[in-house]
Chains A and B, each alone.
Chain A
């Protein structure tokens, strides 16, 4: 008895903590796994009233298509419903938004960081205001002028609006990042006879990539995940993926092709999945950087 007590029993708390984490992981990732698996089935299996195990084995799918997996949903969504066009639009909008806001962000952020004046507070406030305003309220301000000037529905208009909304944040983030690069570095380059721009080009650019990548990731997420702006500002033939999925819901349900929407959702999820997979460290770093500094 006494000997038993000296051996530490499995800590109750450890068990509790571990089971909590396991449950959380199931909650966090379960829905995604389920939907990805289900997207290769037919409607009767994914929404199986009789027995949920049908969705795992694909009973109806085998009956209808002769195989346990089917890509009917993907074919329907991408080719029949023209989802490829929306994917293309998303690519254009996202790439343009990220490139433009990073260009302005790096140049502006560098200038602000080196100018010595205390812009930081106002930048932070501007970033906060844009974070706080529901984007839809800003859109309702843009909309009528855009109609009047005939700018509505174009991809380029949306890109400009997204860049504008994103800019205070990128400026602030890169500004605080450039502050961490020691001033002596580019000053020594200036002493060696470089111009300002050469100093930036040859000294600062090589060391700025970690900050740019983090900022770029968040710009990407903003542009990719946006629903309020793209759904109101884009005409139906120029829609990006997210508003297209929303409009799928109405039309597709009537035709009984809900699996098209499921496949479209899974397709739109894939890039984000890889993003998290490859850039997990930067994402976590960026999220916490805001907290530590703010």
Chain B
């Protein structure tokens, strides 16, 4: 276990300090019948030999972290110095690939998580009122969006939302704008991804809340009823406090899952309008030239991000555990 968690992280950290070798160039004389020209060519053999010798590439210390495609300190300083208003500054920062990905990841996480929790709770409360016969099929239908492979689910929605697909065409009809395309505008692409995220994750919180509802103590609800609590008050003051631990659990899971959003961006082909941290790493690693250094640096930053995100909950778990032992 240590081997498989520890080593990759060490390996990522080491990789992030290196950068690819520059191509070895050599001057070649091209002669045609009229004259000779000197051109610079990539010496493939020498480049390959260099890669063979030191597969990690050159040592680059922390420079990969600070270059333009990562933390971009120089560019930020420049933006700060050259612009006055906050709006311009924001736009400048947003154009840097790392920050635009970070902003999308955070927005996605921050919007999807509360919606998923709220929608899941509503569905759970609704399903709880259904007659017993209808519960099984409803749960079956609700499970599907979560169980189906994220890439497949996002593709299915994407084809429906395509300008020629059923939902896309309907939207064009509603807004009376035949050129309306969800793919073409950045805010609509974000909205599309977020809607997908909610659709995909709501079943999870529904299932957990639904199981929690089965354990709500009936006596307490009866007592609240006798005391004249309305149905809303019963939910607010009896059911929700009872489900607080579940709420923490769902929030934790959702934060982790939403922070690493990758498949919907690939499925929706949305990378031009919205990228996430995971997508940047994926992009560095796929393709012909694999940018290990760059991917490593982004990975380390992402891991730090996850740690920051989870630290409150981890500290709490640690305390609870110690209390149990003591």
Contacts and interface: CB of A to CB of B under 8 A. Distances in A.
Interface of A: 13-14, 17-18, 20-21, 24-25, 27-29, 31-32, 34-35, 46-49, 52, 55, 118, 121, 124-126, 128-145, 147-148, 161, 164-165, 167-168, 221, 224-225, 227-228, 231-232, 242, 245-246, 249, 258, 261-262, 265, 268-269, 272-273, 275-277, 280, 283-284, 287-288, 290-292, 294
A138 B306 contact: no
A189 to B, nearest CB: 30
A238 to B, nearest CB: 15
A129 B55 contact: no
Interface string B1-33: 101110111111001000000000000000000
Interface string B25-46: 0000000000000000000000
A148 B290 CA distance: 13
A14 B143 CA distance: 23
B126 interface: yes
B164 interface: yes
- A-B pairs with lowest CB-CB distance, top 3: A141-B8, A134-B260, A47-B164
B56 interface: yes
A245 B267 CA distance: 9
A47 B303 CA distance: 41
Interface of B: 1, 3-5, 7-12, 15, 55-56, 122-123, 125-127, 129-130, 136, 138-145, 147-153, 155-157, 159-160, 162-166, 169-170, 199, 203-204, 207-208, 211-212, 231, 245-246, 249-250, 253, 256, 259-260, 262-263, 266-267, 269, 277-278, 281-282, 284-286, 290, 292, 295-296, 299, 302-303, 306, 310, 314, 317, 321, 325
Give the secondary structure class of A's interface. helix
Given A141-B299, A284-B211, 11 more contacts: A24-B142, A48-B164, A131-B253, A133-B5, A136-B299, A140-B296, A165-B4, A167-B4, A228-B282, A245-B152, A249-B155
Nearest to A221: B147
Contacts of A227: 149-151, 262-263, 266
B299 A121 contact: no
A129 B156 contact: no
Contacts of B245: 291
A228 B140 contact: no
A20 B166 CA distance: 22
A147 B55 contact: yes
B263 to A, nearest CB: 5
A156 B268 CA distance: 30
Contacts, number: 228
B152 A242 contact: yes
B129 A17 contact: yes
A158 to B, nearest CB: 13
Contacts of B299: 136-137, 140-141
- Centre residue among A137, A164, A165, A294 by max chain B CB count within 10 A: A137
Contact of A133 (B7, B211, B306): B306
User: Is chain B's binding surface mostly helix, strand, loop or mixed?
Assistant: helix
B60 to A, nearest CB: 15
A28 to B, nearest CB: 5
B23 to A, nearest CB: 19
B130 A280 contact: no
B266 A126 contact: no
A283 to B, nearest CB: 7
A114 B296 CA distance: 40
A136 B299 CA distance: 8
B147 A35 contact: no
A168 B11 contact: no
Nearest to A287: B207
B281 A137 contact: yes
Contacts of B151: 227, 242, 245-246
B144 A291 contact: no
A35 B170 CA distance: 16
A18 B263 CA distance: 33
Nearest to B195: A27
A31 B157 contact: yes
Contacts of A28: 141-142, 144-145, 199, 203
A283 B277 contact: no
Nearest to A283: B143
13 contacts: A18-B129, A18-B130, A21-B123, A21-B127, A21-B138, A25-B138, A25-B141, A35-B159, A133-B306, A136-B262, A144-B55, A168-B1, A276-B144
